[in-house]
Structure 1
Amino acid sequence: MNDQLPPLLNKAIASEKRLDNLLSDSLTLVENALNSSEISLSERVEIALKILDISGVYHQLNRPQNSNDDPEVAETSTTDTPRLLEANFIQVDNFLSPEEQAETFKIAFQNHDKFFPSGVANNEENTRKSSVLLVQNFDEYYNKIRHKILQIRPQILAQLNLPTFLVSWVEMQMTAHNHGDYYYIHQDMDGEKIANRVLTYVYYFYEQPKAFYGGDLRIYPTYINGDGYTIGEQFVTVEPRHNSIIFFDSRMKHEVLPVFCPSGRFEDSRFTINGWIHR
């Protein structure tokens, strides 16, 4: 029957069949890999995470149930052209010395009982799950880290093409993400009380070898249209590398992807010292 079809159509049908067969074989290969005892658990988890990420399921985990909370995707305006903030960031490796790292872990572990469930400035529900330690619990250490951040601030602003500004406050906290924790798409200056946040920073630290998976940071291109901000469709992914610190424009939409920590131990968490430089 296919012999009576035009040659190009026959060719298209054959190509589609080959693609279907290739996809079927690929799925079988992946399933076999996930069930293979010859592949380590960590490798199988990495494979599963990539599948979830590609399929879009990973991105949907723990998202708000209210459809009105979904982020708006920027649309072309017929009157004003939105100004685009590119999804740029700066990541600096080896930020702290071994002695400073040891002090960081000591503060986190000795204050385990003082971490409390995180919230958000605008009080939206189902947008964030993690544990936070307030800066009042590490005053002296705060001043040390604050000084190091302000030292490199001029270079960071220049690399991000942001104008310099007079600093009024460096806000800081310590955060732990354990199994199932996440932070849905948001902005760090979305709210009257935090409108003066200009530069976001996140310092990553965790036990070696790493005992969790996931927890990558996604930064989205963000469109400014008047007083509104809308999210672009593309994104950059930031790996939470141990002893590295990242900086980005606080106006950028971003999210922390779900963390998978099989042990559930606090000490195995994805830890950060994170905060914001205010104008």
Structure 2
Amino acid sequence: MQDIVCLEPGTDKQPDDKQVVKTPLYVQVLNFLDHQEWQTLLDYTLAQANQFVCSTTFTNQPDYRVSQSLNAVAEVQLLIVDKVKSLLPQVCQQLDIPPFFVTLIEAQITAHNDGNYYKLHSDNGSYDTFNREISYVYYFYREPQAFSGGELRFCVDDSDQLLEQQITPQQNSIILFPSRYLHEVLPVCCPSKMFADSRFTFHGWIRKSVFANPTNW
């Protein structure tokens, strides 16, 4: 299990292995994968370029989400999912989420290229997604970085206070946050328009059982 080091928002301390940044809205783990794991994931993603399809939403609302996604990620899923599961006790504690029984950890890879975006939404706002409890987003991309923008922006109404925060995609880092939070992906600028220069994320949702009692992780 990864060690946890909590930092105050805005800290100037340089990233170390297995370092975690906590804010009121999310937990961020820096240097999430080792170099070989990161390279394996990037190589797999680039090799699957022709398998990516236009991203969709449950409402099928046009021009709401513009990107490409890959849902068949079994070959690399364990690189991320097992580590995400190992972090759940600490993440729930830091985000004040009661323990819950995990029924499924979903995963997909998404590529945001030039002009791509995802408008403000939550990850559990439909009948099919209501039991998503925690969302996670792992950032990776080819170096040198060939895109800009694509920040993850939160807009959360919490206790009569509007909380807004933007996260710049950071190589080999992962964000975990409550799925109910409203968030969006701001437009990406990728001058080359090459798939390999995209803003890549391995992301998904942790679903909880609505029937079982909480159990040990």
When normalised by structure 2's length, the TM-score is: 0.82
Deviation at residue 196 of structure 1 after TM alignment: 0.8
| Mapping for residues 206-221 of structure 1, pairs under 5 Å | 206-221=141-156
Query: Which whole-Å CA distance do the structure 1 matches of 2:193 and 2:75 have between them?
Result: 30
SS in 2 for 1:198: strand
Question: In the TM superposition, what is the alpha-carbon distance from 1:143 to its structure 2 partner?
Answer: 2.6
Corresponding residue to 2:115 among 170, 177, 180: 180
Aligned residues of 1:87 and 1:236 also touching (Cα < 8 A): no
Give the match for residue 212 of structure 2: none
Q: Which runs of 5+ in 2 are unaligned?
A: 1-22, 209-217
Shift of 1:239: 1.2
Q: How many residues are aligned here? A: 186
- What is the SS of the residue equivalent to 2:111? strand
- Counterparts of 1:188-207 in structure 2 under 5 Å? 188-207=123-142
Deviation of the 1:177 alpha carbon = 0.2
Aligned twin of 1:36 = none
| Structure with the higher strand share, 1 or 2 | 2
Deviations 1:36-92 (A, max 9, x none): xxxxxxxxxxxxxxxxxxxxxxxxxxxxxxxxxxxxxxxxxxxxxxxxxx9601111
Q: Residues 1-279 of structure 1 correspond to what in structure 2 (within 5 A)? A: 88-134=25-71, 136=72, 138-222=73-157, 233-279=162-208
Task: Provide the rounded CA distance (Å) in 2 between the counterparts of 1:234 and 1:175.
Answer: 26
SS in 1 for 2:107: strand
1:132–1:176 contact (8 Å) kept in structure 2 = yes
Q: SS of 1:88's equivalent?
A: coil
- How far apart, in 2, do the equivalents of 1:148 and 1:123 lie? 32
1:207 Cα deviation (Å)?
1.2
Whether the 8 Å contact between 2:157 and 2:163 is mirrored in structure 1 is no
2:93 maps to a residue whose letter is A
Q: Which runs of 5+ in 1 are unaligned?
A: 1-85, 225-230
Alpha-carbon offset, residue 222 of structure 1? 2.8
1:236-268 deviation per Cα after TM superposition (whole angstroms, max 9, x unaligned): 011110000000010000000000000001010
Looking at structure 1, the residues matched to 162 and 203 of structure 2 have their Cα atoms a distance apart, in angstroms, of 26
In 1, the alpha carbon distance for the partners of 2:178 and 2:163 equals 17
CA contact (8 A) 1:87 1:221 kept: no
| Partner SS, residue 37 of structure 2 | helix
Residue 108 to residue 257, structure 1, CA distance change in 2 (3 Å): same
CA distance in structure 2 between the aligned counterparts of 1:263 and 1:232, rounded to whole angstroms: 40
Q: Verify the 8 A CA contact 1:122 1:190 in the aligned structure 2.
A: no
Deviation (angstroms), 1:208: 1.4
Misfit runs of 4+, over 4 Å: 231-234
Contact 1:131 1:175 in 2 (8 A): yes
RMSD: 1.7
Q: Percent identity?
A: 40
Determine the C-alpha separation between the residues in 1 that align with 2:207 and 2:114. Answer: 31
TM-score calculated relative to the size of structure 1: 0.64
- What's the secondary structure of 1:221's corresponding residue? strand
Distance 2:200 2:79 in 1: 18
More helix by share: 1
Secondary structure of the equivalent of 1:99? Answer: helix
The alignment partner of 2:28 has SS state of strand
CA contact (8 A) 1:87 1:219 kept: no
